[in-house]
Each structure stands twice: as structure tokens, then as C-alpha cells.
Amino acid sequence: MPNEIRKDYILDRWVIIASERAKRPTDYSGRPSERTEAKTCPFCPGNERKTPPAVLLYLPSDGGIKRAKDSDGERVKNWLVRCIPNLYPALSPRNSISLVEDDLHRRSDGVGAHEVLIESPNHDEHPSNGRLEQIELVVQAYLDRLKGLSKWEYVSIFRNHGKEAGASLSHAHSQIMATPMVPERISDELAACRSWLEKKDACPYCEIIEAERSSPRFIFENESFIAFAPWASVYPFEFWLLPKKHQHTLLQLDERGKRDFSRALRMCFGSLATILNDPPYSYGFHIAPTRGQHECFHWHLEVYPKLSIQAGFENSTGMFINVTPPEVAAQSLRESLPRI
Ligand SMILES: [Zn+2]
Ligand SMILES: [Zn+2]
Ligand SMILES: [Zn+2]
């Protein structure tokens, strides 16, 4: 069965039914141990043949980088960053899209893109311990793929770290999914930004930044970015990173902004790894949808450490219990920022 996207009977909530992913051997049983040996890791240099041809490669060139791609029969070596189609995509590029069935059963074909961004040739070079110049390349690659996939309605860039957070391979990587509709969380945030703008003639996130800068939830700032634990943190040690200037998409980052963002990532994830012994976590960017006028949106990165288990109450109500107050989380994150 091909992948499809189904809408809830009555809610504006879409679910990817990833039948094509069901063949993925490691999914429910017989997971390999998290610490994949470099010899067998398909993302480590030398094993490029175990993966599909790269859609984007950064190669070293005169102290800078050069962009390249693999061809079908050949895999380029000596890369710094490598972006490949997911071997087991939840969404795949096809052309047709149909919204059919009846009022209760709405669906569309599972079209879109699902890519893996291998962040470094070094198996263990993560945002928590990586070299700044390497993290800057990862940020640049996010921008390039966001641009490259802009024919889709929405591009989600996210990272799962650690087996408990859903990473089936431990090599440093992010994922990118392009979807044929705007996901509910994004359209909810966008609608909230619009109505705030209409009522108060301001961006709520710009106001949040001003308020949290001097609050007990503040964690870190540099010239272009701020990090804080949100007021109603859903997860213990959740934090958000926002550009201080109003920007609706990552694509508005200038060179200084990219550097400051990379540094903010390195600082915050360094601290998180120190205080919680490299915990599993996920992060995801919230950016404006690719089509239409969404300048009222303010892009940000949301980070969700995976320290608690969602169960009956959370799953059945959409309401959460967080046992670590954001003020407590922010204080430890603030006090353990690395010196770099
Ligand atoms: Zn590896
Ligand atoms: Zn704003
Ligand atoms: Zn958000």
C-alpha cells in the first residue's frame, strides 16, 4: 500500500499512514543497539554505498565549501555534510494528490519528501559537542534544503537524538520532511500570530522575547538569538530558541545570524548534555509555510528533551503534566553553559 495522509474525522489533524515504512526492519523488534559501530554505520564515511545518492553534498574547497551531488552510479567521498533521501520515507515524491472519500474519511496521497541530513563525517559530532564551523555548515544545509523543497506547502526540519527519542541510528543527523499541507501546530501558531497582530498590532513572539529576557526562565542570548524555557513548558527542560529580530523564515538569516544561531545551539545543547548526561531529545523548527503571505509569523526552534513518558492522560486529553518547573530547568541550563 502506498503512503497516505489521513485527516481526523472532525479535527484539523493529519496523520501520515506510512505503509511503505512498515517494511523497515528495525521498527518494532530486533532493533540494533544504539551504538552502531562505525564499520557498520551507513552514515559513516566509506559506507556511502549503503545509502541512496546524495541530493546535496558540501565538499571542502579553498578554505570554503563547494556544493555537489552524487550521481546514481557514483558516491562522492570527502564530504563535510551529506543530505540523502530517506531509505524508508514516510512521504515520497510523486505527483498526484487527491482529496477524496466522504465527509468523514478525508485523505491525500502520501506525497512530499523525506530526507536525512548527515551532519558530519564524525559519527559523534552533535550540536552539544561539535565544532562551531561544522554546526554552521549544518545550519547552511538546513537553509539549502528548505529552499530546495519550497514547492511543498510546508518543510519540517527536525532532529531526534537518542534511541528513546526515535533515532534509529546514532550518527549525528537531522531529518527534513516536506508535506503537501500545513501541519496543525503550524497553522494554529500562525492563526494565533494573525489574531494577536489584529488585536495588538504586534508580533506575540517579539513580545515574548522582551518579557522572557528578564524572567527566571531566561537561559542564554547573543546579539541575534535568545533561548529560554517557555512559561508553559510541556516537557521537563524544554527550551526555545528565537531570532531577536522579527523573521518569518529561516531563509532570512544573514551571515551573522547563522553564526549566532550555531553558537546558541552549541551553548544550549552543551549545557543540556552536561546537566542531564546527554539525554535523548527531539527538536523541530517552526517556520512560516512556504506559500502565501505569512510575514506575521516569527520562526523559532522548539527543543523537547525526552525525560518523561506520555501516557493515558496526555494522549487522551492533549494536556500535559510537567514535573520540572521551567524556572528550575532554566536555572540549571543557565548555570551549566559551556565556555567556548
Ligand atoms: Zn556513523
Ligand atoms: Zn516577531
Ligand atoms: Zn512553535
Indicate if 258 and 111 belong to the same structural domain.
Answer: no
Per-residue pLDDT reduced to its tens digit, 105-114? 888 888 899 9
Identify whether residues 174 and 233 lie together within a single domain. no
For 140, list phi and psi in degrees, rounded to 5: -60, -40
* Domain membership flag for residue 304: yes
Amino acid 309: pLDDT: 85
> Is 340 part of any domain?
no
Query: What mean pLDDT comes out for the span 155-161?
Result: 98
Cα of 309 vs centre of ligand 1, distance in Å, is 28
Active site residue 173: yes
At 29 the pLDDT is 40
Domain that holds residue 46: 4-182
Q: Total structural domains in the chain?
A: 2
pTM of the model: 0.92
- In the set 161, 171, 173, 298, the catalytic residue is 173
* Strand ranges, E, within the chain: 4-7, 14-17, 56-61, 64-68, 81-85, 107-109, 113-118, 154-161, 173-179, 218-221, 225-228, 239-243, 281-286, 300-305
Indicate which CATH number applies to the domain containing 114. Answer: 3.30.428.10
- The confidence score (pLDDT) of residue 7 equals 83
pLDDT at 93 over 90: no
Of the residues 124, 150, 182, the one at which a domain ends? 182
- Are 189 and 171 within one domain? no
Q: Tell me how far the alpha carbon of residue 157 lies from the centroid of ligand 3, in angstroms.
A: 13
